[in-house]
Amino acid sequence: MHAQHRPRRLALVCAPLALGGVLGLLAPAGPRGDALSFHVAQGTTLARSFASRQEASQDEVEMLLNGQPMPSGITNGMTLVQEQRLELSDEFVEPGPGRADAAPRVLRRSFLGIEASGEQSTENPMDAGRQEDRRHSKSELEGKTVVFEWDEAQRTHSKRFDPEGPAIQLLEGLVEDTDFRALLPPEGAAEPGDTWDLDAAVISSLLMPAGNLCLVAEEGPDRKEGDPGALSAGDPSRAFAGLEGEVEATYKGARDVEGTRCGIIALEFKVHSKRDLKEELARFSHGDLEIERVEAFLSLEGEGELAWDLAGGHGRSLNLSGKLKNQMDVSMKLVQSDRTLPIRRKMMMSGTYELQANVERR
């Protein structure tokens, strides 16, 4: 993950200075290159749209019962497609200072549309032919307005419905930043070819714009009273917890994007994680079947491009695409009256992920 042309890397560098050059350092100097900072004007309203699609298919699967392979026909192929759409309207009631890492003091966000759908197909399970399950999920946040207010003491935003809304627990996982400010250069400015490294955790914010939307299944096999279902079980940010790896940003210079002068930041990433899911999947233990261990391995590799509105001081668009691999290793035991049979299931899936985000001034 190295850019072919890299005139400089954003960092502090110390070098010997001739005495005559010291006085030159005392003169004030402006930032080099294009200013890439967040500085949205008070009263600005931005309409944001996000659309994502994930498609994955089963590469291989292995199931062992008491150390022996299970009969053929039980472990045939599976394909999973998930799509999500989000429409927001952000009113900047009180902006923050014009720094690259600034956050608005007061932001009023209206959730205009939230929707997720999924389709899972399985080929010939137990010789029963092709089976398809369709799922559709919505969120109670749709149609609601949330106000984010900066708390200087806590160095974060407090959140509240305006007017009062549904359960306040829906606010917990929401994220104020949908401009992806974490991608901006640390110096607040850059020249074409400049590169800088980002924390691997930034990928989670890219894959979950606005945070946890608390999606709940409305139809499909996951729709059960009191059970949020597979599309929305728990906090989805946990799927990207513990990411490690490399994320690199490169400034490509400025260009016009639909009539708006934008600075273009290119991304390359290669990250992975390993998680223990035993507690999250404990609900699937029932009767004589007990889950003992669940390990999930995730890897993501891809690229993206953020267009930053130079005059407006906010994100203009984001395109992201990547390849994913997901492996699940589950150990269970089947307890019978006279014996206990160990069961192990390993499944590898791979596929693609795409995200398109666009912003318009209102």
Q: Digits of tens for pLDDT over the chain (362 positions)? A: 544 444 566 543 333 334 344 434 444 445 578 999 999 999 999 999 999 999 999 888 888 888 888 764 455 578 999 999 999 999 999 987 655 557 899 999 999 999 999 998 877 655 556 677 888 999 999 999 999 999 989 889 999 999 988 899 999 999 999 999 999 999 999 999 999 999 999 999 999 999 999 999 886 554 444 343 333 345 677 778 889 999 999 999 999 999 999 999 999 999 999 988 877 776 666 668 888 888 999 999 999 999 999 999 999 999 999 999 999 898 888 888 778 889 888 889 999 999 999 999 98
Task: Identify the residue whose tokens are 């599309």.
Answer: 231
**Residue at 298: amino acid letter:** L
The per-residue pLDDT for 227 is 40
The per-residue pLDDT for 8 is 62
Residues 6 or more apart whose Cβ sits within 8 Å of residue 306: 180, 183, 264, 265, 267, 315, 317, 318
- Helical segments of the chain, H only: 19-25, 202-207
Of the candidates 347, 354, 327, the residue with the CA atom closest to the CA atom of residue 55: 354
Task: Identify the residue whose tokens are 């305006």.
Answer: 162
How many whole angstroms separate alpha carbon 361 and alpha carbon 254?
20
The per-residue pLDDT for 341 is 86
Task: Identify the residue whose tokens are 């956050």.
Answer: 103
The per-residue pLDDT for 129 is 62
The per-residue pLDDT for 86 is 98
Residues 6 or more apart whose Cβ sits within 8 Å of residue 74: 63, 125, 126
Asked if 320 and 304 touch (Cβ cutoff 8 Å), the reply is yes
The per-residue pLDDT for 317 is 97
How many whole angstroms separate alpha carbon 20 and alpha carbon 319?
48
The per-residue pLDDT for 12 is 37
**Which is it for the CA torsion 101, 102, 103, 104, positive or negative?**
negative
Residues 6 or more apart whose Cβ sits within 8 Å of residue 221: 133, 135
How many whole angstroms separate alpha carbon 123 and alpha carbon 239?
26
The per-residue pLDDT for 292 is 85
Q: What Rg do the C-alpha atoms of the chain give, in angstroms?
A: 24
The per-residue pLDDT for 4 is 44
The per-residue pLDDT for 243 is 92
